[in-house]
Amino acid sequence: MLQQVTIRTTDLEQFKSMLKTALEREAKLLEYSIQRTREALAPFEKRFKMSTDEFERKFKNREIEETLDFLDWWMEVEALRHLEARRDLIKDARVE
């Protein structure tokens, strides 16, 4: 569902430009954080010989035990999903 925010300003064009720049910068920071989080997931995948997607499915379905290592992995997965959701929200936003 498309939603709208109203902002009142004395200089609309300058504010729109500033807002677009801020959103672009935030998207870049999120992309960097996503990459770093994916790098943090790689050692888990290598150690346990399964992809993060496979781990996520098995963990959600309680097909694997809740060890400290798996809880650490799960926290990284949750961080990744959170960062991706924020990035997608920004990418879908339009400043008009």
Quick one: pLDDT at residue 49? 98
- Alpha-carbon span 93 to 88, nearest angstrom: 9
Residue 70, in any domain of the structure: yes
- Mean pLDDT over each residue of the chain, to the nearest integer: 95
Indicate whether 6 belongs to any domain.
Answer: no
Task: Confirm whether 13 is domain-assigned.
Answer: no
Cβ contacts of 37 within 8 Å, gap of 6 or more: 76, 79, 80, 83
Say if 4 falls within a structural domain. Answer: no
For residue 67, which phi and psi values (nearest 5 degrees)? -95, 170
pLDDT tens-digit readout, 40-66: 999 999 999 999 999 999 999 999 999
Domain contains 9 = no
For residue 24, what pLDDT is reported? Answer: 95
Q: Is residue 11 part of a domain?
A: no
What is the count of structural domains for the chain?
1
56 lies in which domain range?
23-92
pLDDT tens figures, 61-80: 999 999 999 999 999 999 99
Residue-level pLDDT at 3: 85
Q: Is residue 65 part of a domain?
A: yes
This prediction's pTM: 0.86
